[in-house]
Amino acid sequence: MPAAMHSDTPLAQRMRPRRLDEVIGQTHLLAEGAPLRRLVAHRHLPSIILHGEAGVGKTTIAMLLADAVGRPFHLLSALNTGVKQLREVLESKDSLSLAAPVVFIDEIHRFNKGQQDALLGAVEAGDITLIGATTENPSFSINNALLSRCQTYRLESLTPKEITQLLNRATLEDTVLKTLDIDLRACQLIADLAHGDARKALNILEIAVQTADHSTGVLIIDDALVSTVAQSALARYDKDGEQHYNIVSAMIKSIRGSDADAALYWMARMLVAGEPADFIARRLVIAASEDIGNANPNALLLADAALRSVQSIGMPEARIILGQVVVYLATSAKSNSTYKAINAAMALAEKDASPVPMHLRNGTTKLMRQQGYGQGYIYPHDYPQHYYPQNYLPDNLLGTRFYEFADNQREQHSKKFMAWLKDQYHNSKKS
């Protein structure tokens, strides 16, 4: 490697902005008149939560905000900071300083309740200004008490245009790259591979520059070279983070919406990222019941069989089984009638605890029978069509309906069958 290429500091670190004006992207927060810019203008920095995907500038913006308002800055990571270390930082506050230090917690969603409670006390007392960074939705990962005391801002992934701007700036301004003659032709491909992650984009560029042919003097960074060094699409998918749940949700909603192609795509994203096949299969079992139900009872049987098959076979063959089930579910008739029915029944059950009517109780002992258990119960199998109408709900709930037949062929067939049963009974009584 030429001497000019040598640097112990990664390109992404060397290109970290030193002023808010240098930040690429996040104009909805940092442009003139935008929320974070207004805070800096008034030299007021409240506790905030920065929410966004990896590589969009959460740490950088936190550091620049603290610097812009003249506050000391402490950077901690939830991965290696316990309550003890957190308290040491809190206790180190200079009692003579009027300004609370900024304590930045990276991956704050990984803090447990005890750690978050420790932060809450310090925030409430004004001992610190908290800036938390998370890749997850804060409403799911941060306790409500702490969240209510912070302003929350969403950072967006960089657009391809912004990634291109970043790459060109690196070749022109970086202390190492600006000494080289770089012909950068692969900005679009790098942007595609980075998926809006500035750090990934710069890492790809740095590897490409290191790998390029230096013998000609001009370093040609084209699609062929980038494809070789990148190896894969660097799929942005965190199995423990919000993206995980977003993609699962996209697959389920595509099935519900009867779009087999979209459902296959989202499932493929999970498989490529290494999601366990049995996790996907379990989600398909749920979808088969929740979104298809009695419109096609075979869907649940097939999904359950797929779960067992996937567990016994494993990848890569399991992908075929999962693909078959996803297409079957997406193209099946849909119904959520039983899903709504069980939810309605459980909502009522939480409020009602009516006793079981005596005729429905099981009189298994002599004493129970003497007390009237089971008396008056009519055994339907003793009657034509194995049907005899009687009350199966408590008296105060008679006439309550939870299940409504959906307008698909199978459930309408069941509806007609129930109506026919009742007609048969009434006709037999008339005769």
26 sits in the region (left: phi over 0; alpha: psi -120 to 50; else beta) called left
> DSSP readout, 141-181?
HS-HHHHTTSEEEEPPPPPHHHHHHHHHHHHHHSTTGGGSE
Question: Which residue type is seen at 101?
Answer: P
Task: Using the structure block, give the residue that is written with the tokens 């109506």.
Answer: 419
Please report which residue ranges of 221-372 form alpha helices under DSSP H.
223-230, 242-256, 260-272, 277-287, 298-313, 318-330, 337-349, 366-370
H helix or E strand, kind and range, residue 280: helix 277-287
Closest CA to 190 of 153, 217, 158: 158
All structural domains of the chain: 26-154 (3.40.50.300), 158-230 (1.10.8.60), 242-330 (1.20.272.10), 354-430 (1.10.3710)
Q: What is the pTM of this model?
A: 0.60
In angstroms, the CA 74 to CA 63 distance is: 9
Dihedral angle computed from the Cα positions of residues 412, 414, 418 and 419, in that order, rounded to the nearest 10 degrees = 20
Q: What are the angstrom distances between the C-alpha of 102 and each of 99, 105, 145? A: 9, 10, 19
Please report which residue ranges of 176-222 form alpha helices under DSSP H.
187-194, 198-211
- Going residue by residue through the chain (431 aa), what tens digit of pLDDT does each one get? 444 445 678 999 999 999 999 999 999 999 999 999 999 999 999 999 999 888 899 999 999 999 999 999 989 877 676 667 777 776 766 555 567 889 999 989 888 877 888 888 889 988 889 999 998 888 877 888 999 999 999 999 999 999 999 999 999 999 999 999 999 999 999 998 888 889 989 999 999 999 898 888 899 999 999 988 876 445 555 555 667 778 899 999 999 999 999 999 999 988 887 788 888 999 999 999 999 999 999 999 999 999 999 988 888 889 999 999 999 999 999 999 999 999 999 889 888 889 999 999 998 898 998 999 999 999 999 988 899 999 999 989 998 989 999 898 988 998 999 999 888 888 887 76
Side-chain-facing half-sphere of 328: CA atoms under 13 Å: 20
In angstroms, the CA 187 to CA 166 distance is: 10
What is the gyration radius of the CA atoms in the chain, in angstroms? 31
Dihedral angle computed from the Cα positions of residues 310, 312, 315 and 319, in that order, rounded to the nearest 10 degrees = -30
Q: Could you tell me the strand order of the sheet in which 102-106 lies?
A: 73-77, 102-106, 129-134, 48-51, 151-154
What does the block give as tokens for 86? 């957190």
H helix or E strand, kind and range, residue 123: helix 113-125
Maximum Cα–Cα distance across the chain: 105
Cβ distance 49 to 108 under 8 Å? yes
Side-chain-facing half-sphere of 21: CA atoms under 13 Å: 0
Instruction: Look at residue 51 and give its three-state secondary structure.
Output: strand
Q: What are the angstrom distances between the C-alpha of 40 and each of 17, 66, 70, 406? A: 16, 9, 10, 57
Q: Which residues pair with 218 in a beta bridge?
A: 181
